[in-house]
Amino acid sequence: MSDTDKKSVLLVQDEAIIALSEKKALEKYDYEVFIARSGEDAIGICNGGSCCDLILMDINLGMGIDGTEAAARILKDHDIPIIFVSSHNERIIIEKTERITSYGYIVKNSSINVFDASIKMAFKLFDANKKLKENEIRQQTMISNISDVISIIDADGKVKYVSPSVEKWFGWEPREFLGPNGWITVHPDDLDRVTREFRRLLKKDNSTDSIEYRLKCKDGHYKQVKVAAINLVNYPIIGGVLINYHDITENKELESRLNTENEMFQKVLDSIPQFICWKDRKSVFLGCNKNYARMVGLPDTQSIIGKTDWDLPWKKEETEHFLIDDNQVMESDTPKYHIIEPAYDVNGRETWLDTNKVPIHDIHGHVSGLIVAFSDISERKLAMEALAYDQYLLQALMNESSDHIYFKDRESKFIRTSKSQADLFGLADPAQLIGKSDSDYFAGDHARQAYEDEQSIIRTGRRVIKEEKETRVGLPAIWVLTEKMPLYDNNANIIGTFGISRDITERKDMEERLRESEIKYREAYNGSKIHEEEILSLLRQKEILVKEVHHRIKNNMNTICSLLSLQTSTMTDSIAIQALEDAVSRVKSMILLYDNLYDSDNSTDVPLNEYLPNLVDQIMVNFPNRSIVSTRLDIGAITLDSRKMHPVGLIVNELLTNMMKYAFKGREKGSIMIHAALSGDRVRITVQDDGNGIPEGIDFRNSPGFGLMLVSSLTDQLKGNIRIERGDGTRIILDFEK
């Protein structure tokens, strides 16, 4: 119920706590509630002009007059529905209240639902009685003051009286209209319908009816008339059916033209791709086009007439917002254009609308309503948001990446660069690079080579990847790994180049140090005079360098995990989120391997019985159902080269992840066993569950998902074999040479 429709209730109750409780309960049903402590207070409120839409009257009000007496006094001067409330349900009490008013009786301690239903029924009954009284008054006024043609026809169809105005309207003299056959002026095609209605009217005294038909004029042509009749056959003064004839010929012609115009107007609106509706001054719908009806789930455009936005599938907040906008437009008599707002269609799908609201006026220029037209811009908004998000990601990349990123036109001049590229040249703002070229910052030889590479890319469309030494003017030289590619426009035309250069100076320095260490090591090994302590020192240096490489690789992997996790947090598509989470899990399995390598005295070999338990724990913690799944590991004393441990870790990660996702759906508990043993020079790893089992038809060569296909590829990398055994769950056996 909107604020404009909120009903007010006067609660007459002498018990303060009960009154407060009932007030709070009724307010939850959107009623505005006032309290009177006695019958006298209630009478005073009503006589003071503050009476409400309905009164809940307690019969027993303590001192003073009781509820029935208070109600009787109020109804002497006010027409208002009163519902009595009492703990008594004796017949004599109920009959006493019915003699005063008949809008209802509620037994105390009834539920609030009973109160609400009784109040609503009372309002309906009150409205019906009000309309009935209005109709009675209107009929009496029409009978007393009718200015059209009036006649009286008795029960046999004889015209007993006709007013003189019959000659003005239809050309008949009154004496010509009188006679035994009152139907002689009715068009033959309408005669049966008119006489049938007349006979029906005679069945009940004082019954009324109206009918439209064609009446014959004296000159032979017909006019459209609307006849209002009342059965006063048994009324002594009248003694027949009192009939009022009203000429509606012009109205019918106007109505016909208006219907034609409305039909044309409706067809025009239905052909417009926008969603259009129009409302009256109270925001009640007067019509809409087909698109609008379809959007809100209505079968046709006529079904919306008389409804409000509260009857449509909008959310409460949206409806309130729409109605506030409507009111502002009509109150200010000022249109509103391009209101960008969300809404939900009949299927619950969120849409974005571009809405225009324009006031409409009556013949006196007063605002009589408004017309609403909007377009569904959901796809456009999504595209704009996607573009904005892409721009945000690009800007974040350009601002935060340590790699040097740059875009150039066909003349190899910068059109956009990352912050790190500007930092490389000692510039505060990347915008300072726009329009510049490499020759402004690099030494001549390097600038010329870069230009030639980029012009080759523009000519051939082939990318360039290489390691190169960048010599900057007035700054130290650095080594970079550079990848340059063609830059295309929307029509696949090459409009320039873009590239990424990663500073690998530290790596090149490490390689040089490793190379020098290797040379010294070989000299020592080949019998040179270097002492044993120096040899051990060189070996320790090499080991430190190798561990440093592992450490840097691990840090890069952690960065990748963080980026994937950040991307996941911005996603809404469940499939995309799952794919990213799986990718994070795979990278973490590799990070764990590098942890083992970094912490080990041996930088190349990893014990399987140390690596796999940690990997299993790391995987299990990601699943909410881990508490119902027990794991048992039986891992032999097997040491694998890191090059083989890497694919083994990924394979176990995929198999265990797959089992946790699907094997125990609908189960209260389950178990997973992992066994690894060495047989001769071959390693055999078994991963087994007691779950639902992999469906027939799915294997490593025929899988709808990426995971099992990855397992197959990694097995090939190990030059091993893998197979599935089905039974009480699933057993997967991996076999490869150590």
Host domain of residue 344: 272-376
Q: Is residue 267 part of a domain?
A: no
Please give the Cα distance from 558 to 555 (Å, whole number). Answer: 5
Four-point Cα dihedral 690, 691, 697, 702, nearest 10: -90
Q: Are residues 38 and 124 in the same domain?
A: yes
Q: Are residues 413 and 514 in the same domain?
A: no
Mean pLDDT, residues 514-527 taken together: 66
Q: Is residue 365 part of a domain?
A: yes
Q: Are residues 580 and 567 in the same domain?
A: yes
Say what the pLDDT of residue 144 is: 45
pLDDT category, 260, cuts 50, 70, 90? confident
Say what the pLDDT of residue 622 is: 78
- 341-347: long-range contacts (C-beta < 8 A, 24 or more apart)? 342/318, 343/314, 343/318, 344/313, 344/314, 344/315, 344/318, 345/295, 345/296, 345/297, 345/313, 346/295, 346/296, 346/297, 346/313
pLDDT(384) > 80: no
The bridge status of strand 494-503 relative to strand 605-607 is unpaired
Say what the pLDDT of residue 232 is: 93
pLDDT digits (tens, 9 = 90+) for 77-106: 888 999 998 887 778 877 887 888 878 888
- Which residues, including other chains, have CB under 8 Å from residue 351's CB and lie 6 or more apart? 342, 343, 344, 345, 376, 378
pLDDT digits (tens, 9 = 90+) for 195-223: 999 999 999 999 999 999 999 999 999 99
Go through 204-238 and write b for each residue having 16 or more CB atoms within 10 A of its CB, e for each that does not. Answer: eeeebeebebbbbeeeeebbbbbbbbbbbbeeeeb
H-helix or E-strand containing 530? none
Q: Is residue 623 part of a domain?
A: yes
pLDDT(566) > 60: no
Q: Are residues 278 and 199 in the same domain?
A: no
pLDDT digits (tens, 9 = 90+) for 420-460: 888 888 889 999 999 999 888 888 888 899 999 999 999 99
Q: Is residue 483 part of a domain?
A: yes
Mean pLDDT, residues 471-480 taken together: 83
Say what the pLDDT of residue 400 is: 78
pLDDT digits (tens, 9 = 90+) for 395-419: 777 787 788 889 999 999 999 998 9
Secondary structure class of 503 (helix, strand, coil): strand
Q: Are residues 136 and 169 in the same domain?
A: no
Q: Are residues 627 and 709 in the same domain?
A: yes
Highest mean pLDDT among 107-111, 114-118, 279-283: 279-283
Q: Are residues 684 and 703 in the same domain?
A: yes
Mean pLDDT, residues 42-64 taken together: 86
Enter the tokens of residue 591: 């990070």
Please give the Cα distance from 582 to 576 (Å, whole number). Answer: 10
Please give the Cα distance from 106 to 60 (Å, whole number). Answer: 13
Type of residue found at 547: K
Q: Are residues 342 and 437 in the same domain?
A: no
Q: Are residues 42 and 111 in the same domain?
A: yes
Pick from 25-29, 91-95, 329-333, 623-627: least confident? 91-95
Q: Single out the residue in 541, 561, 590 at which a domain terminates.
A: 590
What is the value of pTM for the model shown? 0.35
Query: What are the angstrom distances between the C-alpha of 524 and each of 216, 536, 543?
Result: 133, 10, 17
pLDDT digits (tens, 9 = 90+) for 697-706: 777 766 666 6
Of all residues in the chain, what percent carry a pLDDT higher than 90? 33
Enter the tokens of residue 258: 């208006």
Let me know how long the chain is.
Answer: 738
Number of helices (H) and strands (E), helices first, in the chain?
20, 27
C-alpha closest to that of 266 among 292, 289, 295, 291 = 289
pLDDT digits (tens, 9 = 90+) for 569-598: 555 666 666 666 666 665 665 665 555 554
H-state helical runs in 621-694: 642-662
Say what the pLDDT of residue 230 is: 93
Q: Are residues 525 and 406 in the same domain?
A: no
Report the number of distinct structural domains present in the chain. 6
Query: What are the angstrom distances between the C-alpha of 416 and each of 17, 92, 672, 695?
Result: 74, 93, 54, 52
Pick from 369-378, 428-437, 553-562: least confident? 553-562
Say what the pLDDT of residue 706 is: 64
Please give the Cα distance from 80 to 101 (Å, whole number). Answer: 10
Q: Is residue 198 part of a domain?
A: yes
pLDDT(311) > 90: yes
Please give the Cα distance from 150 to 354 (Å, whole number). Answer: 57
CATH number (domain holding residue 238) = 3.30.450.20
Pick from 187-201, 697-711, 720-734: least confident? 697-711
Q: Is residue 257 part of a domain?
A: no
Mean pLDDT of all residues in the chain?
83
CB of 633 within 8 A of CB of 687?
no
Q: Single out the residue in 212, 247, 282 at which a domain terminates.
A: 247
Please give the Cα distance from 463 to 306 (Å, whole number). Answer: 66
Q: Is residue 525 part of a domain?
A: yes
Residue 693: count other Cβ atoms within 10 Å of its Cβ: 16
Q: Is residue 636 part of a domain?
A: yes
Q: Are residues 349 and 416 in the same domain?
A: no
Q: Single out the residue in 498, 526, 551 at which a domain terminates.
A: 498
Q: Are residues 655 and 686 in the same domain?
A: yes
pLDDT(188) > 80: yes
